[in-house]
């Protein structure tokens, strides 16, 4: 990892300029003072998990492929790549899964021309790989120049210049980590009945009892789907985000306050079970690893066997 970190942080424009001076003699006379603008046409960044043996990965890999194929929605895929679905999005979000090939099974998610892939290497390594062909789909905080020549800093689309390789690396690593975090609930060693008990049984805190959840109720499945929504992977969600999914929008202020309080109670019940955590210094919540495991398992079962009972937020 250290070697790859150093590779991305090298001063590539300076290094490539030295090579250009060696191979292009015109840069010494006719083109003197001019420079090439070096770009990255395609960047791939992989995260590898090494297993002790082929038997340890074989069964798990099949479960990971099935889970990713059945569970991840377009919103999830956009969230893994640091995006949020909105009305102005004009690209394609596709998933292609190849399971009939042995070896060579893999799943590939494509958002416009950027990809997320998962496959095994040599039966020993689980590889998650982000491929960036359209860097402008990511934003970085960089220096900009106005027409009058003054400079300022702002969040702008990431350019293709090789000087931004460290930003390519940072964004791609974050994509891989979000994807692996979403897959972490697969093959959980905790017994399933303990997870279900924690979700369904009442919890008593400070002499007060908080009701459990019924994963067979459509309303509570909609709550699980809302908090796990792909739009919330990067930055978390607010009470209002969940309220718009569970209730029809109301222009009556009294009704809006009532709905907000009801959602607040639901989020607190999830928080007491350690399924949610507050984002520091904000009013946002994030799903914990444990919450993603338990709630994701409940959704995976119903989306596979009773999809009509578990409606996802509109994609």
The pLDDT value recorded for residue 235 is 87
**Among 135, 115, 129, CA closest to 176:** 129
Give percent of the chain above pLDDT 70. Answer: 89
Give percent of the chain above pLDDT 90. Answer: 32
Give 39-183's CATH code, choosing from 3.30.70, 3.30.530, 1.10.287, 3.40.50: 3.30.530
Take residue 236 and report the two structure tokens written for it: 């978390």
Contacts of 113 (CB under 8 A, 6+ apart): 133, 134
Q: What is the mean pLDDT of residues 90-101?
A: 84
Q: Indicate whether 309 pLDDT > 70.
A: no
Q: What residues does CATH 1.10.10.10 cover in the chain?
A: 192-309
Spatial separation of the C-alpha atoms in residues 241 and 265, rounded to whole Å = 15
CA separation, residue 64 to residues 81, 116, 191 (Å): 19, 14, 18
Q: Indicate whether 315 pLDDT > 60.
A: no
Q: What residues does CATH 3.30.530 cover in the chain?
A: 39-183
The pLDDT value recorded for residue 308 is 52
The pLDDT value recorded for residue 216 is 77
Spatial separation of the C-alpha atoms in residues 112 and 109, rounded to whole Å = 10
Q: Indicate whether 108 pLDDT > 70.
A: yes
The pLDDT value recorded for residue 314 is 39
Do the Cβ atoms of 138 and 174 come closer than 8 Å?
no
Which sign does the torsion angle of CA 67, 131, 175, 114 carry? negative
Please tell me whether the overall predicted TM-score, pTM, comes out greater than 0.95 for this model.
no
For 205-238, write each residue's pLDDT tens digit: 888 888 988 887 888 888 998 999 888 888 899 9
Angle at 288 between CA 47 and CA 46, to 5 degrees: 5
Spatial separation of the C-alpha atoms in residues 167 and 150, rounded to whole Å = 24
The pLDDT value recorded for residue 230 is 83
The pLDDT value recorded for residue 218 is 84
The pLDDT value recorded for residue 266 is 94
The pLDDT value recorded for residue 190 is 46
For 168-181, write each residue's pLDDT tens digit: 999 999 999 999 98
Q: Indicate whether 311 pLDDT > 70.
A: no
| CATH code for the part of the protein at 192-309 | 1.10.10.10
Residues across the chain:
315
């Amino acid at each position: 990892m250290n070697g790859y970190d150093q590779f991305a942080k090298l001063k590539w424009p300076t290094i490539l300029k030295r090579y250009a001076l060696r191979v292009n003699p015109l840069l010494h006379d006719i083109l003197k003072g001019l420079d090439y603008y070096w770009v990255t046409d395609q960047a791939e960044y992989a995260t590898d998990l090494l297993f002790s043996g082929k038997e340890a990965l074989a069964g798990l890999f099949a479960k990971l492929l099935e889970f990713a194929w059945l569970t991840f929605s377009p919103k999830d895929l956009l969230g893994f790549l640091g995006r949020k679905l909105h009305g102005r999005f004009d690209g394609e979000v596709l998933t292609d899964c190849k399971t009939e090939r042995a070896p060579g099974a893999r799943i590939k998610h494509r958002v416009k021309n950027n990809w997320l892939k998962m496959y095994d290497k040599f039966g020993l390594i689980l590889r998650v790989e982000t491929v960036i062909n359209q860097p402008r789909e990511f934003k970085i905080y960089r220096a900009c120049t106005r027409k009058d020549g003054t400079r300022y800093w702002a969040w702008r689309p990431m350019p293709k210049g090789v000087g931004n390789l460290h930003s390519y690396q940072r964004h791609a690593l974050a994509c891989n980590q979000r994807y692996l975090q979403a897959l972490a609930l697969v093959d959980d060693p905790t017994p399933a009945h303990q997870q279900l008990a924690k979700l369904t049984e009442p919890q008593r805190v400070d002499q007060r009892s908080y009701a459990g959840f019924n994963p067979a109720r459509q309303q509570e499945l909609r709550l699980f789907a809302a908090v796990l929504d792909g739009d919330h992977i990067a930055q978390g969600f607010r009470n209002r985000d969940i309220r718009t999914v569970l209730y029809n929008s109301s222009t009556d202020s009294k009704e809006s306050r009532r709905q907000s309080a009801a959602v607040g109670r639901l989020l607190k019940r999830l928080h007491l079970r350690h399924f949610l955590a507050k984002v520091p210094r904000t009013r946002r919540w994030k799903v914990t690893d444990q919450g993603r495991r338990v709630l994701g398992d409940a959704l995976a079962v119903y989306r596979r066997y009773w999809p009509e009972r578990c409606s996802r937020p509109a994609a």
